[in-house]
Every structure is written in C-alpha cells, then in structure tokens.
Amino acid sequence: MARPFDVTAVEAKWQTRWFDEGTYEVDNDDPRERFFALCMYPYPSGAAHMGHVRNYTFGDLVVRYQTMRGKAVLSPIGFDSFGLPAENAAIKAGSHPRPFTDERMKELSSSLSRLGAVYDHRREVFSHDPAYMKWSQAIFLAFWKAGLAYRAEAPVNWCPGCATVLANEQVHPDGTCDRSGDLVIRKNLEQWFFRITDYAEELLNDLDALDWPERVKTMQRNWIGRSEGVEFDLPLAFDTRRALRVFTTRPDTGFGVTYAVIAPEHPLLEELTTDEEREQVNELVTRAKSASELERTASSDAGIGLEKRGAFTGSFVINPFTKDQVPVYVADYVLGTYGTGAIMAVPAEDERDFAFATAYGLPIVRTIEPPDGFEGGAYSGDGVHINSGFLDGLDVPTAKAKAAEYLAGHANGVTKVNYRLRDWLVSRQRFWGCPIPIVYCDTHGIVPVPEDQLPIVAPDDVTMVKSGQSPLATHEGFRNTTCPVCGGPARREADTMDTFTDSSWYYLRFADPFTPGVAFDPVQAAKWMPVDQYIGGIEHAILHLLYARFYLKALVDIGMAPGLPREPFRRLFTQGMIRLDGTKMSKSKGNQIAPEKYYETVGADSLRLFHLFAGPPADDVDWTDQTEEIIDGCARFLDRVYRLSDYDEVNFHETSDDGDLEIRKAVHRAIATVTDCFERWGYNIAVADLMQLFNTVSKAARADHGIERATLDEAIDTMVKLLAPMAPHVTAEIWERRLPDEPSVHQQPWPIADPELVMQDTVTMVVQINGKVRSRIEIALNTSEAEAEALALSDRTIVEALGGASVKRVVARPPRLVNIIV
C-alpha cells in the first residue's frame, strides 16, 4: 500500500525521542493532579503477542489521554520474571533460567516500545532482580513475625507435571492443574501458608466499593464463599456427655435430620466405627484418601447424586430436636476441610442428602411444605414448616432464628460464619522463584534470615533437573548454612515462593522504587496509590487480584504501609481476549498471529487503531479473514488524515460562512463525544466518531465551495489531538510538520468543547402518524409541546397524509418527536 509518509521511519523516530527524552518520566513530588495507570505485570514470554498488543494499546491510550488532561501520570512497566516456563526451558536445554529470562524480557520490552507504549523506565522492576527479591523476602519475614505466615502439615495439591504443590486457586474444579493440565493429586506435606483467611470478611466486604466489572466481583465473592449458620452438638448415643459437632446453614430443618455424615478424614471416625462395620468403612476411607479430586467429584459430574459413596459407621447420635437416635455415616461428599467436617443430614430439604438417603434407604421427613405441584426430591425454598414441633407454621427466616436460639440453649449452639476460602499455600518445590528466607536449626527450629543478609539469591551453579524438589534442596553450598541465632549448623529452606507473591506488591515498588533502604516509602507510595486504572485479563479475576488485595491489607496492618489505602486497584478493566478459529489465541495453542508483521507493513498506529475500533474493549475479538482488510482500512484512515493535514486538494475561501460554522459545530460535537467515549471505555465509538468528523471536514474542504483556512486549521488540529492517544506516532508527526515551534501534540492540553457550538439551536423533529415517520420539521430547541403540536398538525406533508382523518390524540415530545394518533 502506497503511504503518504514513511511509516517505519516516523514510528522509529518518535519511539526513540520518547525514550531518550524521558517524556513519560514523572517525579513523586509532581504538583499536578495524579493518575496511576497500570497494566497487569506481564510474564516475559518473549516478543509481545496480539493479546499484549490489545492490552497495552488500551493502557497506553489511558496514559496519553490522562497526560493531555493535565495530570501527572504514573506509567510504569516491569516483568513478572520468575516462573515455570523459564525453568522448564532451562531443564530442557540444560542451562539456567536467568539468561533465558533476561533475553525474553528484552524481547518483550522492545516490542512494547515498538507498539509505541510509553513508560517511566527509571521505575522498571522485575521479580528476579535481587534488589526486588530482597523486599519480597523482607515482606515474607514481616508476615512471619506478624503471624500471617506459618508452616503446617496439610493435605496439599501436588501437580506431577509441574513437580510442585499448588494453591487451591491454581487447581481447576475438575482437579487438573491450572498451568500444565495434569491431574492434581493429594499429598500430606509440611508447607508454608499465608493466613489470607484472616481477611476473608474484609476481602468480601470491600468488593462492594470497588469500581470493578461485576463479573469479577461475583467470582471473588463465590470464591470467598461466605456462609452463615449454626454450629452445634449431636450427642453420641453411646456416651451423651460427648458429641459430634456439626455446622449447618439450615438449623430450621433440624426436625428433618434423619442421619449424620462425617468426612473420611474426621478424627472421631475411628471411635465411631463399630467392629461389624470396620471393614467397609476402612475400604471407603482408603479409597477417598487415595482418590484424586477428580475421582472424588466425578460422581456429581454425571448428575447430582447419582452415586453418593458412603458407609454406615455402626454408631448413632441424638437429634437435639426430636431426641431420636439417628445413624452416623461416613461419606466422601462431606469434606474434612470445611466447617466441622461433619454434617446433619436433611434429605427432604437438601439435594445431596436426598440423593444419599435414596441410595442408602434412609428415611426422608419433610419439614417444609413444598409448593403445590412441586416435583422432585429435595425442596430447599421457602415455605411453611411442618412436622417440626415448635417451628410448625413458621416461614424459613423466622424458623432459622428460633431454631438457632433453641440450639444455643440445648446443644451448645453458636452462630457461625464459614468461608470456602482457605489459607494461601505459598511454598513451591521449584527453583526459579524467590527463595523463602528461612533457616532450620536443630536447636532453634525455624529461624528467619536477618534482614541485613537479604536477599537470599539462588546460586548459578545448579543442575536443573525435574525431580520433585528444587535443585536448591541438593545444592550443598546453598543448603548448608549456620543458624543466625547460635551459629551452629543449619539448613536453608529449599522451597521458593509462589510467583503470585511477586505480583502482589509490585505496584507499590512502582510507586516508589527510589527511597533507599525500604521496599517503598509509604509516604511516597501514598501519593500514587491506589491505582486509578488497572487493566488486564479476566483470567486473573480470582488469583492475582485476590492475593494483591490481601497483600496490601496485610502490609498496612503490620506497619509496612501505614497511611496507604487498603485496596490497591480502584478501577479495574478486563479486556476481551483474541480468538482464532473459536479458541483463545495463545502460545500454548500455537495459533498466534505475530504483531511484528504489522509493525513492518501498516505500522503500530494502524494496529492500535484496529484494536480500538474492532469492537467494545471488554468483548472478545475474533481474528478472521476480514481482519487484515479492517487493519488496512485503519491505515487508510490515518493516511487520509495525513493528506488532509497537508491541505492536499483543498479549496479555500476568504471569509467564514454558514458552512464553516457547521464544520466548527461538528468539530466541537466530536470533542464532546470522543471525550465521553474515552471516559467510559467506548473507544470503538470514539474511532467511529472521528472517522465521521473526518468525512464531514474532508468533504467540505475538497468541495468547490471550499472552506475558510481558520476553520480547517481548527478542525485538523483538533482531530489530531483527539487522535493522539490512539495513534501517537502519526499524530506527533503531523503536529510537528504543521506547528514545528509548538510543543508536541502529546504535550498539548486535551481540547475542550465550546458549549455554544455543541448546543444545537435547531433540531430535526420527527412527526409520526400512528408511530410511523411521515415528516420531519426543523424546530427550535426550546419549542414547547403546544407549539410542536401546532407545527406538526400544520405541516403540509402531514396534512396530506392525514387526508382529513380525525385525530384521536397527539403526543408531543419536543424536540424529538410528535406522534399523531388517528
């Protein structure tokens, strides 16, 4: 395609200038209003892919737009540079992950520059930088000292493919690993945890005030999984001084408890199991323990309760409502890690209990009258209580309160809130992560590494193997150390931290990487925090976004971030993904379209414009046969703007006339609509509005009648400014050619619409007959209803169309329309 300018040269020229001149460097004491714009910490996987391009196009637009709005914009970049892909590649190549990672970082960095994205490069951060690791480790130790980090043995998720344990958040519902797709198995291991559950309530409540997509907030709410209920005792039939403690959200259904169920891991199981039942109980427990999560949940995948697996323990407990003895079963549908690990079962009002009761022939007693015509097993809705003694006749909420009161007096009942959220498992048996700064001494046990010895950096002379433990575990030079307390022989922790710890506080380092001796100075960081606009993919809806929220709250509480807000990201935007042939475009699927080729042909500006124009930013984009042509169309539009700005084929007239006034109005209306679109993420519409404005201006300027020079000057200068955040290179070039003595377009203030020109004094009012458009009348904006009605009824076209029909009613809604009903 023949272009009116040398795209490659122009883009390179401006990229160099922005970088060399530090155009987007910003100081912490900048007096302007502040704006913190941030794209999610990218994993350096090499040159930017199309998803990056989309993400960083939006991010860069925000940075440039807010800058033109007169704000001091903090635009940092860094790299989430620890992680498995680099380690796996190093194992394969028999090398070290560091050079591999450094290379990928360089590639990503340069391809972001090539896109035209601008940053304060002085603030660059990457996870494996010892200067950053030092503080990642210091935060770990601060958590430990505050009791937020602890070591415990627990059944954990082990991924054979990744050869490490995983957090609950990294395991899919079907029991496979988030990263490798391998089936995760259960193992009992001693591991490090962060006490994120201490913050469950706050993490849940604070979501309400965040300007985040509702979808993301819902996902987090579900993940945290708050449920309110009552914990109480079911006395053991053979020894009523002791009891099985259970948790329920439905105390009101207590009269319908016909059995109890305990988890295979429950500590009382052994005691409750009678000799006659021992064999089948053991069989069930063995199976449940060895089963993977997938196998354990498989029965429900086939349809609710098709195959509840359980066994009678031989023991009974007493229902505190009915005083009846009910059997205790062990079943794998009750989880040892939630609530008390035991439940009261109410088959009539709980689907899972119903399925189990049906399979094992247990009695079902309804305690709530289902609605007429109700078909099916369990009824969990509201209704009138029956068969429920003192609860009979009550609705569910009332009965709940009354039952809870009863349990408090008769069964040690206490109201309780349970969460689905578990503590965050942070140990990883891998090499390429931030080492956990802990030493184990035979005398002093767990000893933190003193801060002046941080960072603990993994050695370079390791043999990278995939063995189920980090190469650090067998590296004698690293492993053997001395106890910081007694100086005796000690061993270093060989595990590294989950890489999500690195991305949980990087935004604070961005805000202040300058103050020596601290991770960040809270006073400096407070100048920028919280992030005003965070941009990233929906795939981080739970993991990263929950962890980062926890980190900041914890840092504030333990005194590392006093005075900072408790939420890191005020506004979140999640952009859609790019799909090719119906699936997400990704490296692992091998269906990527590389951006480089577009840089070389149409240029970065055109590719950016395409991503902005393709559709609503939050929606997925399908890469199709048509895409190339749309990108060409975007390039064509930029070329037209360039040519018009050169006054190519333009006719001028001397003094301004009505035509010029119309152009000025169109220009100012576009300022208003484009600005509005920028504020509400309607970039696709902003591009459309600019194209429309261009068409109007271009047509007028090239017509024989021509245009006044001042009108065209204003139109073009404004268009270039409005386009500048979208297509930064070509607009900078046009601006410089037109106004070589002025500061760059990117330093210009964002245009402000003149209300006089935006306001239309006359508008086209539609006249309908029976809801069908029959005529259009130009009217004044402030026309009254009566005037509008009179104008409509006397309009020649309308009189003809009516043909003397009797008018039943007239609905006048000036200035939009009049509807005549006949």
Q: In the sheet where 149-159 sits, what is the strand order?
A: 164-166, 149-159, 185-194, 424-425
Least Å distance between CB 384 and RNA? 21
- Among positions 130-149, residues that touch RNA (CB under 7 A) are none
- Which helix (H) or strand (E) segment holds residue 579: the answer is strand 578-580
Least Å distance between CB 696 and RNA? 9
Interface with RNA by CB under 7 A: which range of 81-89, 424-432, 791-799, 809-817? 809-817
Least Å distance between CB 232 and RNA? 11
> Per-residue contact track with RNA, 446 to 485, x per CB under 7 A?
----------------------------------------
Least Å distance between CB 228 and RNA? 8
- Among positions 343-382, residues that touch RNA (CB under 7 A) are 343-344, 350, 352
> Per-residue contact track with RNA, 510 to 549, x per CB under 7 A?
----------------------------x---x-------
Q: Are 712 and 701 in contact (CB under 8 A)?
A: yes
Q: Pick the binder of RNA from 243, 585, 687, 712 (CB under 7 A).
A: 687
Question: Does 781 sit near RNA (CB under 7 A)?
Answer: no
Pairing outcome for strands 310-318 and 325-331: antiparallel
Question: Does 736 sit near RNA (CB under 7 A)?
Answer: no
Interface with RNA by CB under 7 A: which range of 73-81, 94-102, 425-433, 636-644? 636-644
Q: Please give the Cα distance from 64 to 132 (Å, whole number).
A: 28
Q: Pick the binder of RNA from 242, 410, 597, 813 (CB under 7 A).
A: 813
Q: Are 391 and 252 in contact (CB under 8 A)?
A: yes
Q: Please give the Cα distance from 609 to 485 (Å, whole number).
A: 61
Least Å distance between CB 478 and RNA? 37
Three-state secondary-structure class, residue 307: coil
Q: Are 395 and 382 in contact (CB under 8 A)?
A: yes
What are residue 387's phi and psi, to 5 degrees? 50, 30
Asked if residue 455 has a cis previous peptide bond (ω within 30° of 0), the answer is yes
Question: Does 299 sit near RNA (CB under 7 A)?
Answer: yes
Three-state secondary-structure class, residue 105: helix
- How many CB atoms lie under 10 A from the CB of residue 484? 15
Q: Please give the Cα distance from 591 to 589 (Å, whole number).
A: 5
Residue 276: alpha-carbon gap to chain centroid: 53
In angstroms and rounded to an integer, the radius of gyration of the C-alpha atoms of the chain is 34
Interface with RNA by CB under 7 A: which range of 181-189, 248-256, 426-434, 751-759? 248-256
Q: Pick the binder of RNA from 633, 709, 738, 802 (CB under 7 A).
A: 633
Question: Does 17 sit near RNA (CB under 7 A)?
Answer: no
Least Å distance between CB 811 and RNA? 4
CB-wise, 133 or 670, nearer to RNA?
A: 670
Question: Does 615 sit near RNA (CB under 7 A)?
Answer: yes
Q: Are 722 and 690 in contact (CB under 8 A)?
A: yes
Question: Does 250 sit near RNA (CB under 7 A)?
Answer: yes
Q: Pick the binder of RNA from 408, 556, 688, 793 (CB under 7 A).
A: 688
Question: Does 389 sit near RNA (CB under 7 A)?
Answer: no
> Per-residue contact track with RNA, 640 to 669, x per CB under 7 A?
x-----------------------------
Least Å distance between CB 247 and RNA? 5
Q: How far is CA 616 from CA 50, 75, 677, in A?
A: 16, 24, 11
Interface with RNA by CB under 7 A: which range of 12-20, 23-31, 490-498, 629-637? 629-637
For residue 533, what are the β-bridge partners? Answer: 37
Three-state secondary-structure class, residue 471: helix
Q: Pick the binder of RNA from 619, 662, 742, 785 (CB under 7 A).
A: 619
Interface with RNA by CB under 7 A: which range of 342-350, 445-453, 456-464, 599-607? 342-350
Beta-strand ranges (E) seen in 72-122 are 72-74, 78-79
Residues 6 or more apart in contact with residue 188 via CB below 8 angstroms: 153, 154, 155, 156
Kindly state the tokens that stand for 719: 């268009």
Q: Pick the binder of RNA from 485, 685, 757, 780 (CB under 7 A).
A: 685
- What CA dihedral angle connects 521, 527, 530 and 532, to 10 degrees? -140
Which residue bears the tokens 């709940």?
400
For residue 316, what are the β-bridge partners? Answer: 327
CB-wise, 391 or 526, nearer to RNA?
A: 391
Least Å distance between CB 324 and RNA? 18
CB-wise, 542 or 556, nearer to RNA?
A: 542
Q: How far is CA 210 from CA 41, 199, 220, 506, 562, in A?
A: 20, 17, 12, 20, 21
Residues 671-685: b if buried by 16+ CB within 10 A, e if exposed: bbbbbebbeebbbbb
Q: Please give the Cα distance from 234 to 243 (Å, whole number).
A: 5
CB-wise, 35 or 637, nearer to RNA?
A: 637
CB-wise, 131 or 821, nearer to RNA?
A: 821
- Among positions 393-432, residues that touch RNA (CB under 7 A) are 418, 420
> Per-residue contact track with RNA, 62 to 101, x per CB under 7 A?
----------------------------------------
Q: Pick the binder of RNA from 332, 605, 714, 795 (CB under 7 A).
A: 332
Q: Please give the Cα distance from 315 to 317 (Å, whole number).
A: 7
* Count of residues in contact with RNA, rule CB under 7 A: 88
Question: Does 614 sit near RNA (CB under 7 A)?
Answer: yes
Q: Please give the Cα distance from 530 to 512 (Å, whole number).
A: 13
Q: Please give the Cα distance from 555 to 566 (Å, whole number).
A: 9
Question: Does 1 sit near RNA (CB under 7 A)?
Answer: yes
> Per-residue contact track with RNA, 148 to 187, x per CB under 7 A?
-------------------------x--------------
What are residue 451's phi and psi, to 5 degrees? -60, -35
- Among positions 696-715, residues that touch RNA (CB under 7 A) are 698-699, 702
CB-wise, 25 or 301, nearer to RNA?
A: 301
Least Å distance between CB 390 and RNA? 20
CB-wise, 218 or 588, nearer to RNA?
A: 218
CB-wise, 90 or 697, nearer to RNA?
A: 697
Q: Please give the Cα distance from 457 to 437 (Å, whole number).
A: 9
Q: Please give the Cα distance from 153 to 137 (Å, whole number).
A: 22
Least Å distance between CB 421 and RNA? 8
Question: Does 601 sit near RNA (CB under 7 A)?
Answer: no
Question: Does 682 sit near RNA (CB under 7 A)?
Answer: yes
Least Å distance between CB 816 and RNA? 4
Question: Does 785 sit near RNA (CB under 7 A)?
Answer: no
- Among positions 203-242, residues that touch RNA (CB under 7 A) are 214-215, 218-219, 222-223, 225, 227, 229
Q: Please give the Cα distance from 60 to 316 (Å, whole number).
A: 66
Interface with RNA by CB under 7 A: which range of 357-365, 400-408, 598-606, 672-680? 672-680
Q: Please give the Cα distance from 742 to 462 (Å, whole number).
A: 57
CB-wise, 86 or 243, nearer to RNA?
A: 243
DSSP letters of 745-786?
A: GGGSPPP---HHHHS-SEEEEEEEETTEEEEEEEEETT--HH
Least Å distance between CB 420 and RNA? 4
Tell me the H-state helices in 502-566: 506-511, 522-526, 543-557
CB-wise, 234 or 456, nearer to RNA?
A: 234
- How many CB atoms lie under 10 A from the CB of residue 70? 12
Least Å distance between CB 355 and RNA? 7
